[in-house]
């Protein structure tokens, strides 16, 4: 599917297949296996320009990885508007319903190095580059709507504490260590974000099944100059779903590229990930009418108080051609704006406006990172900037300054009515001080609201996350400080944690926070069967009629069945037909499947029985749906068979039940202690 950005990238795409090998200068080479030597066993000659070029390029292949968000993946797509936002903003790409705006989206984890696993407990980045006809607009967000700190000056401190401890560079991609929790206990503004990080939101099932948030408060400005405060949301059409903690740890070992591959495979199969873009809108005159400061990045605007207006859809429909050239070199910046969108005085956002450009200068080798193909706007750019590392533009004008008469003072600026960007003229007065507004000093009300809004299973998962993380903290003093701090959120929650990690319970007092926001609970999310991966395990002599009927029903429900057996050899059914397995019981694993269907033949060897029982046990303990044929029912613990989400195949009715069970994703009311 072509769009303006894809067409632009075509001029940079090169397919080397079938071509003659050359040097970087275009010289055709007769040999690429051996360096130039004096005789067959003599020394290599320095005059071997091909060797020098090849080795030198290899030695310089790597660039500094991102300090944060190093581990990620990305995809191309398009944005289509549902409803014109002209009433609120003059941004062109939010005006015309008939225009499809090319986008590039990068997903990432925050803490780990490039080689870390996908499924760690962490915040996920969700950054979007809109290639608009007014220039690139970057929406640099996360899968959580708040952040750990309120002021950008503390960002280096936070990341230093979060990263592996400097003496050992351990642990990798994890917050379960002393320095992180010491920072949290001594920077209580982080309370709300920590509740999100300890929740299921920190271990998403898929990049396709997590929300995105712009985090900060921005301004929409319309043609009349009227301001509306705005927060951005990206809502997945597949709903918001997560893994369970035991799964994440096992997947990290079994398939550390789990989320990357999931995104790539979905796009390759035509199951394009879709996210609806939503906005929360607050008139400028209502800036101080909420019970928190709207510029505080540790606060959300509860959707029940400020509804999310869905205005368009992002569809990701093309994988990258080269990971380094696109995913690794893409450069986002919250300061890449278009007319009609502007900043606020959020002190975390203000610091990011400096940090992102500063980072790209070192990572991408200088000020011309905007000329890298993935970063180039789809419109022409003209200015008096010149030279620098990796300059690709060949400026033919002799004039590179403003004002000038020799080129009629061009490139020229234009007024707002002609599409020029003009910063919002906010009236500001005050003394230059290093301080925090009193309106930023409530750290616990929304953290408590988040916990109050969770279903009981979600609350249990948060408690278990605290137990796991804090049990890794060696300092008892730090553990006690954290328990005392989060006692301000919920006494019962932290009393359970305190008992587990061997510290005193927080002092008892009635919680003063009772507000809830149902939109925060994943229990209330969309539930579908679409694109869920179903492991269909078969053995020789399986019932062909029953298996084929179930397989058809799974395809009709838009799931992604994968046939698994003990080998990759064809498996013959009762009717003489054959199924070719995609993977084996050894190479696949229950933790990378969303549900399991076992259709065994009348005779099963001991190896198949052992492996099938392992699939059943892990699927069951992770609350996922199970369907087993009558022949395979003997593999079930009898008490399992009557638990929610477990079905014995007797006919079409049971297949339909299985599909409904799949749509629910997890069956939290199941007793897993059987």
Euclidean distance between CA atoms 249 and 267, whole angstroms: 26
Q: Strand 646-648 to strand 626-628: parallel, antiparallel, or no bridges (unpaired)?
A: parallel
In contact, 150 and 348? CB cutoff 8 Å: yes
Q: Strand 578-579 to strand 308-319: parallel, antiparallel, or no bridges (unpaired)?
A: unpaired
Is residue 69 flagged as an active site residue? yes
In contact, 102 and 4? CB cutoff 8 Å: yes
Euclidean distance between CA atoms 68 and 332, whole angstroms: 13
* Residues 6 or more apart in contact with residue 421 via CB below 8 angstroms: 337, 338, 339
| Burial track 548-580 (b if 16+ CB lie within 10 A, e otherwise) | bebbebbeebebbbbbbbbeeeebbbeeeeebe
CA neighbor of 456 nearest in space, from 151, 200, 254, 107 = 200
SS3 assignment, position 551: helix
DSSP class of 105? E
SS3 assignment, position 212: strand
Instruction: Evaluate the CA torsion angle 258, 263, 266, 271 in order and state its sign.
Output: positive
| Burial track 202-229 (b if 16+ CB lie within 10 A, e otherwise) | bbbbbbbbbbbbbbbbbbbbbeeeebbb
281 Rama sector, left if φ>0, alpha if ψ -120 to 50, beta otherwise: beta
Q: Which residues pair with 124 in a beta bridge?
A: 109
And the tokens for 601? 């033949």
Q: Rounded to an integer, what is the distance from CA 52 to the centroid of its chain? A: 40
Is residue 233 flagged as an active site residue? no
Euclidean distance between CA atoms 240 and 644, whole angstroms: 21
SS3 assignment, position 569: coil
Q: What share of the chain is helix, strand, coil (3-state, %, to 5)?
A: 30, 15, 50
Which of 50, 69, 336, 667 is an active site residue? 69
Which of 136, 142, 259, 490 is an active site residue? 142
DSSP for 125-189, written as a single string:
EEEEEEEEBTEEEEEEEESSSS-S-SSGGGHHHHHHHHSPBTTTTBSTT---SHHHHHHHHT-GG
Euclidean distance between CA atoms 65 and 328, whole angstroms: 8
End-to-end CA distance of the chain: 50
Residue 41 class from Cβ within 10 Å (0-12 exposed, 13-18 middle, 19+ buried)? exposed
SS3 assignment, position 426: coil
Q: What angle (nearest 5°) sits at the alpha carbon of residue 379, between those of residues 377 and 383?
A: 85
Euclidean distance between CA atoms 160 and 137, whole angstroms: 30
Euclidean distance between CA atoms 413 and 390, whole angstroms: 26
Q: Rounded to an integer, what is the distance from CA 431 to the centroid of its chain? A: 40
The length of the chain, given as a count of residues = 674
Report the catalytic residues. 69, 142
């Amino acid at each position: 599917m072509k769009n303006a950005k894809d067409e632009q990238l075509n001029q940079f795409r090169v397919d080397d297949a079938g071509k003659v090998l050359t040097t970087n200068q275009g010289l055709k080479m007769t040999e690429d296996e051996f360096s130039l030597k004096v005789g067959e066993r003599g020394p290599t000659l320095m005059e071997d320009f091909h060797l020098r070029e090849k080795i030198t390029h290899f030695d310089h292949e790597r660039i500094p990885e991102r300090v944060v968000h190093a581990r990620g993946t990305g995809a191309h797509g398009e944005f289509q508007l549902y409803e014109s936002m002209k009433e609120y903003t003059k941004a062109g790409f939010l005006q015309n319903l008939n225009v499809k705006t090319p986008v590039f989206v990068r997903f990432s984890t925050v803490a780990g190095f490039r080689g870390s696993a996908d499924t760690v407990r962490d915040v996920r980045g969700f950054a979007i580059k809109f290639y608009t006809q007014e220039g690139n607009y970057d929406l640099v967000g996360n899968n959580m709507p708040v952040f750990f700190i309120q002021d950008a000056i503390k960002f280096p401190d936070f990341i230093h504490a979060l990263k592996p401890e400097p003496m050992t560079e351990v642990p990798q991609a994890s917050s379960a260590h002393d320095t992180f929790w010491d920072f949290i206990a001594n920077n209580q503004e982080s309370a709300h974000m920590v509740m999100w990080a300890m929740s299921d939101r920190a271990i998403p099932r898929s990049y396709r099944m997590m929300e995105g948030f712009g985090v900060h408060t921005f301004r929409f400005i319309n043609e009349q100059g009227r301001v509306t405060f705005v927060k951005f949301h990206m809502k997945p059409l597949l709903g918001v779903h997560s893994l369970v903690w035991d799964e994440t740890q096992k997947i990290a070992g079994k398939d550390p590229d789990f989320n990357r591959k999931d995104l790539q495979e979905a796009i390759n199969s035509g199951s394009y990930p879709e996210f609806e873009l939503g906005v929360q809108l607050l008139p400028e005159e209502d800036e101080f009418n909420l019970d928190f400061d709207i510029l505080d990045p540790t606060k959300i605007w509860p959707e029940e108080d400020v509804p999310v207006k869905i205005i368009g859809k992002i569809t990701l429909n093309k994988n990258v051609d080269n990971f380094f050239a696109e995913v690794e070199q893409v450069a986002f910046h919250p300061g890449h704006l278009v007319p009609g969108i502007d900043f606020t005085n959020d002190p975390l956002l203000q610091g990011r406006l400096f940090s992102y450009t500063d980072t790209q200068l070192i990572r991408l080798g200088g000020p011309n990172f905007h000329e890298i193909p993935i970063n180039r706007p789809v419109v022409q750019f003209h200015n008096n900037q010149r030279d620098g590392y990796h300059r690709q533009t060949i400026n033919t004008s002799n004039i590179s300054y403003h004002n000038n008469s020799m080129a009629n003072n061009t490139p020229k600026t234009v007024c707002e009515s002609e599409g020029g960007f003009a910063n919002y003229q906010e009236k500001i007065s005050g003394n230059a001080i290093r301080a925090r507004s009193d309106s930023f000093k409530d750290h616990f009300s929304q953290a408590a609201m988040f916990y109050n809004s969770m279903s009981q299973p979600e609350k249990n998962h948060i408690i278990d996350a605290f137990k796991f993380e804090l049990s890794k903290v060696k300092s008892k003093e730090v553990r006690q400080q954290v328990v005392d701090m989060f006692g301000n959120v919920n006494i019962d929650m932290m009393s359970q944690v305190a008992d587990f990690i061997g510290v005193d319970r927080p002092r008892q007092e009635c919680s003063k926070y009772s507000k809830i926001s149902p939109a925060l609970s994943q229990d209330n999310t969309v539930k579908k069967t679409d694109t869920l991966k179903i492991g269909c395990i078969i053995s020789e002599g399986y019932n062909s009629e029953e298996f084929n009927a179930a397989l058809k029903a799974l395809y009709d429900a838009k799931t992604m069945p994968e046939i698994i057996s003990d080998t990759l050899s064809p498996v013959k059914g009762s009717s003489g037909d054959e199924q070719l397995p995609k993977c084996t019981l050894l190479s696949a694993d229950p933790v990378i499947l969303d549900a399991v269907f076992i259709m065994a033949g009348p005779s099963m060897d001991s190896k198949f029985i052992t492996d099938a029982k392992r699939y059943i046990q892990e699927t069951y303990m992770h609350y996922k749906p199970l369907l087993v044929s009558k022949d395979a029912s003997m593999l079930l613990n009898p008490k399992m068979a009557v638990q929610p989400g477990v079905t014995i195949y007797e006919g079409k009715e049971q297949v339909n039940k299985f599909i409904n069970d799949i749509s629910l994703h997890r069956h939290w009311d199941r007793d897993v202690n059987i």
